[in-house]
Amino acid sequence: MTNTLETCPNFIGGEWLDSNSSGTPVYNPSTGEVIAQCPLGTAADANAAVQAAHAAFPDWMETPPVERARILGRFKMLMEDNFEDIVHCNTREHGKTLVESRGDVKRGMEVIEFALGVPSLLMGEVIENIARGIDCEAIRQPLGVCVGITPFNFPAMVPLWMYPIAIACGNTFVLKPSEKVPLTAMKIAKLLGKAGLPKGVLNIVHGGRDVVDALLTHPKVKAISFVGSTPIAKHIYEIGTKHGKRVQSNGGAKNYVLLMPDADVENSTRGVIEAAFGCAGERCMAGSTAVVVGAAEKTVLPTLIEATKRIKVGPTDRETQPDMGPVITRQHRDRVEELIAVGLKEGAKISADGRGVKVSEAPNGFFLGATILDHVESGMTIAREEVFGPVLNVMHMEDLDAAIELANGSAYGNGASIFTRSGKAAREFKHRVNCGMVGINIGVPASMAWFPFNGWNDSFFGDLHMQGKEGVQFFTQQKVTTSRWFSYGEGDIWYR
C-alpha cells in the first residue's frame, strides 16, 4: 500500500488551482519519506497571482482599517482553534520538535495581534497654521501589491511576519513559501479565507527561481519582503530595487554568545544550548559561536560540553519527543558534516561529535547530533560561513574588550548575547557590539512582534525592517497635504 501524496495547488484569486509545472518532493525529515509534491511554478503562475492581487487592491484599499482589523481578529481566533493541527503540520514537514513548532506558530500569531492595532498605527499627523491660514497633514496609504518570499526554517512565523501587517495596511499580497515546507503556509491561508478575507487579497504561488525572478521584476509589484541566506538576500535587494521595488531583505548571520567568568553556570549553559541547538541550529538567530572569556573556559565550558553530549536526537512526528529533531534534507545534513570536516582540517578540535548519530526508530531520517568545535580561529571557514545546523563554534578570548572586538569583526549583524552577573560588562557589551539585536543573559535575542527584527550589516539589506512600527512604515507611503482657503465657496450658503 502506498501513501497518497498531498498536493500543493496555487491559491490565486480565492481559488486553489493546480499548476502544470513539474514538482519537487516535500519530505518528512524525521522519516525521510516523501509526503507531498510541490510544483516548481512558472512566470505565468506568478503573473496570475500578481494580477489577482492587483485586481483586488482597489476595493481592499477602500475597506476601512477597522474592518480589516476585524477580519484579522477572526483569523487569530481560528488560529487558536486550529493551533495543534497547524503545529503538527509544521513538525511533520519541517522536523521541529512540537515545542519548537508551538513557538513558531505563537510568534507568528503575535504579529497578527500587533496588526490588530492598525487603526491606531495608521493615524497621521496634522499641524494647524503651519503658516498663517495654512494647515498641513500627513497620512499613510497602502502601496499596492506586495510580495513575500520565505525560507524553510520557520514555515508559520516568517510568512506571518509579512502579510498580516501588509494586508492590515490595505495592501494585497502574494506569498511564495519555500518549496521545502509549503503545507503549513497553505493550511494557515485557508483559515484566513474562513475569517472573511476577500478573494485575491492573499495569494500563494509555489516555485523556485523562475517564480522569484518573475515576482522581482513584475511591474505591478510594489514591495518585496524576503528572508533567507545572505547571498540570495543581496540578490533579491539588488534586483528588486533595480526594478523600482521597495525591498526589505533579511540574510544570514554568525551570532556570538559571550560567556564571562562570572556567568551563572546552569543558566548560561541552558541559554547557549537553546541558542546553538534549538531548531537543530536552522535559524538566522542561532547562537553559533560561543566566546569563552578568561576563566569561563574552566567554570562554564566543561558543563556546556557535557550538556551537549546528553542532547537526545530523534523523530519529532510522534508522541515521545526528543531534545532535538532532524535537519531539513539529507543534502543539507551532508553539507553541515562537510563543514565540520573542513573545520577539523583547518585546526579546530572536536569536543562533542554528532556525526553518524544512529536513530534506530527512524533510520532514514535526516539526523545530525549536536556538535561542538573548540579552539576555532577567526580565519577558519567554520568561523566565517553560516552553517545553519547543530554546530557550535567555541573561541577563547582573554577579556571583554577582545571578545567584543572579535564579534565586531563579523560581516554579519543579526544578534549577539552576553552571559554575566556584571552590570558594567553588560552595559559595555550592549553599547559597543555591532549588531541590531542584543541579549543580556538571553541566548536568542530575537525581537517580538512589537519591535523590529533588527538585523544590521550583511544580515539585512534595506531601510525598514520587518515587524513593529517599521513594518507599518514599510507597507505604507506617506501623503502630505498642504491646504489654504481664501473664502467661502459660492455653494456654501449656510454661513449667511
Enumerate the active-site residues.
284
d(CA 280, CA 449): 23
- The string of DSSP codes covering 426-490 is HHHHHHH--SSEEEES-S--PPPTTS-B---GGGEEESS-BSHHHHHHHTEEEEEEEEE--S--T
Is residue 132 exposed (0-12), middle (13-18) or buried (19+ Cβ within 10 Å)? exposed
d(CA 321, CA 315): 7
d(CA 416, CA 287): 8
Number of C-beta neighbours around residue 5 at 10 A: 14
Per-residue b or e along 390-418, where b marks 16 or more CB atoms closer than 10 Å to that residue's CB: bbbbbbbbeebeebbebbeebebbbbbbb
Number of C-beta neighbours around residue 73 at 10 A: 15
Instruction: Select from 107, 60, 99 the least CA-distant residue to 79.
Output: 107
Q: Is the Cβ–Cβ distance between 54 and 220 less than 8 Å? A: yes
CA-based radius of gyration for the chain: 24
- Beta-sheet pairing, 415-419 with 391-397: unpaired
- Beta-sheet pairing, 221-227 with 202-204: unpaired
Reduced to 3 states (helix: H, G, I; strand: E, B; else coil), residue 84 is helix
Residues in a beta bridge with 15: 12
d(CA 452, CA 437): 9
Please name the residue that has the C-alpha cell 539589506: 461
Is residue 115 exposed (0-12), middle (13-18) or buried (19+ Cβ within 10 Å)? buried
Stretch (H or E) spanning 382 = helix 381-384
Q: Is the Cβ–Cβ distance between 226 and 110 less than 8 Å? A: no
φ, ψ of residue 426 to 5 degrees: the values are: -60, -40
